[in-house]
Amino acid sequence: MSSKFAALFDLDGVIIDSSQFHYESWVKLGEEVGFVMTYDFFRKTFGQRNDAIIKQLVPDATEEQIVKWGAKKEELYREIAAGRLTPLPGAMELICGLKEMGFKLAIASSTPKINIAFAIEQLKMGDLFDDFVGAEDVKHGKPDPEVFLKAAQKVGVMPKNCVVFEDAVAGVVAAKKGMMKCVAVTTTNSRLALQKAGADLVVDSLAEIKPQQVASLFEEDCQ
């Protein structure tokens, strides 16, 4: 397997499960600003951009407030998550195995770039990834494929030679729109929902899949 292939990883729900820390940061921000973040609302809006969430919580918020509060929420998240982030089962082993096989590796996430850099530093993944793409790099969120197409461009690999690792239905749809392979993990969605979205392979944990299985997704195309 040569470096003409790439593996593009979503961050939350694929490499790490930081949802509890994000929830705690929203609750804390609400206490400071004056809104109530319920767990049900958090789950319903998880993965949306901060500005969209804040507009729902505080409809009369000014643009200045939205920007300020969004930045504060992420600052709180990093304070809360510091020293507590751990990789999901099998994630580090698969990432290391794919790197050994010669895959280019990138993180492609809708989270702010500072949070991606924070996670890379916390998990000591700096030597593993070739690049990353975050919220500031794209104009259109998933299910638009822009985040994955930009990641592929950054590592110099054709989209058809990329495999995306996702846990969200919108992420799977984005990967397939980008003409990429997709391995989906049932961290936050059901197997059926991910299959319906078009995932090439669905697993309950990255511990279930070996690098050679990922490489085999491209073998049919090479015949």
Question: Is 10 part of the annotated catalytic residue set?
Answer: yes
Which residues are registered as beta bridge partners of 183? 165, 201
First to last CA, the chain: 14
Question: Is 144 part of the annotated catalytic residue set?
Answer: no
CA distance 37 to 30: 6
CB 35 within 8 A of CB 58: yes
**Catalytic choice (10, 17, 60, 167):** 10
CA distance 78 to 203: 29
For residue 139, give both structure tokens. 């104009």
**Catalytic choice (12, 51, 167, 221):** 12
Tell me the CA distances in angstroms from 217 to 60, 61, 181, 190, one per residue in order.
49, 47, 7, 22
Cite the active site residues. Answer: 10, 12
